């Protein structure tokens, strides 16, 4: 019987890929904690508490032998690195990120792609937002805060990531249906905010297509304006040195994009 270590490198690479791309599992009933981000205006970003995050234990399989470790390092040197996370925007106010697949540290410090799945949603008592989301005052809308967070993410200082080739933002509107379908706990887990137990997010409803498109377009416009402003700031690293392009998608189709170097150059 052929053993794992006797397999050719090509098959081992497939196994390693499956292990490294394992989707992070999150306890649906844990807590989120309000997190202050430098450069943002409001304390509306709620991240999962550390104890709710679970790293796939299958990663340990890649350390069981010197050969598997060597093959894993070889795979990482050839395979583009990516980072995937969801961002639920609730009631056009709260921003709830949930990481789904995190990159493994590599020598290049370059992420080929970052995928952000935006999930626009509203609670039971705010269902008018399903079709009237964009009627709120612009300064009170979540996209203002979301752009600030995106720019902080792009410019985040640290030794692990020095450049992102492509940042892809997508909204899946197919979950809307007739507007009465609830968003599952798998899609948006951790609906309790630490210290704000009185807020009820047990039932979340999706936002319709036209609202989603309008939200994405405004996010595109504001992101472009913010990148231009940052490019002219002499006190920070230039955005064009940190990111290649930003794609704005609906249902996986690219509708708008920003080539950062060309955009900031005018």
pLDDT value of position 106: 58
Among 158-162, 230-234, 243-247, where is mean pLDDT lowest?
158-162
Short-list 22, 181, 201, 11, CA closest to 100: 22
**Is the pLDDT confidence value at 144 over 60?**
yes
Mean per-residue pLDDT over the chain, rounded: 83
213 vs 56 pLDDT, higher one: 213
Among 60-74, 108-122, 136-150, 231-245, where is mean pLDDT lowest?
60-74
24 vs 163 pLDDT, higher one: 163
Sheet containing strand 46-48, edge to edge, reads 46-48, 31-34, 192-193
Euclidean distance between CA atoms 213 and 67, whole angstroms:
49
Cβ burial 41-64 (10 Å sphere, 16+ → b, else e)? eeebbbbbeeebbeeeeeeeebee
31 vs 15 pLDDT, higher one: 31
Query: The pTM is what?
Result: 0.85
| pLDDT per residue as tens digits for the range 148-191 | 888 777 776 555 667 889 999 999 999 998 999 999 998 999 99
pLDDT value of position 1: 37
């Amino acid at each position: 019987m052929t053993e794992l270590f006797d397999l050719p490198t090509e098959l081992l690479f497939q196994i390693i890929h499956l292990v490294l791309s394992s989707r992070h599992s999150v306890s649906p009933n844990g807590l989120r904690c309000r997190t202050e981000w430098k450069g943002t205006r409001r304390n509306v970003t709620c991240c999962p508490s550390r104890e709710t995050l679970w790293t796939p234990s299958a990663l340990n399989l890649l350390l069981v032998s010197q050969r598997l470790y060597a093959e894993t390092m070889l795979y990482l040197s050839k395979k583009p690195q990516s980072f995937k996370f969801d961002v639920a925007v609730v009631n056009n106010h709260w921003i709830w990120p949930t990481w789904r697949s995190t990159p493994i540290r590599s020598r290049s410090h370059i992420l080929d792609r970052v995928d952000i799945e935006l999930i626009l949603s509203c609670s039971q008592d705010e269902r008018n937002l399903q079709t009237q989301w964009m009627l709120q005052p612009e300064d009170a809308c979540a996209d203002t805060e979301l752009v600030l967070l995106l720019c902080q993410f792009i410019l985040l200082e640290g030794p692990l990531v020095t450049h992102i080739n492509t940042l892809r933002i997508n909204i899946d509107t197919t979950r809307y249906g007739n507007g009465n379908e609830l968003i599952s706990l798998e899609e948006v887990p951790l609906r309790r905010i630490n210290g704000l137990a009185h807020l009820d997010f047990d039932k979340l409803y999706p936002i319709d297509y036209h609202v989603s498109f309008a939200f994405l377009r405004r996010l595109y416009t504001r992101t472009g304006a913010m990148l231009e402003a940052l490019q002219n700031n002499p006190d920070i690293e230039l955005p064009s040195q940190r990111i290649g392009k930003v794609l704005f998608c609906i249902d996986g189709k690219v509708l708008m994009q920003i080539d950062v170097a060309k955009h900031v150059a005018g």
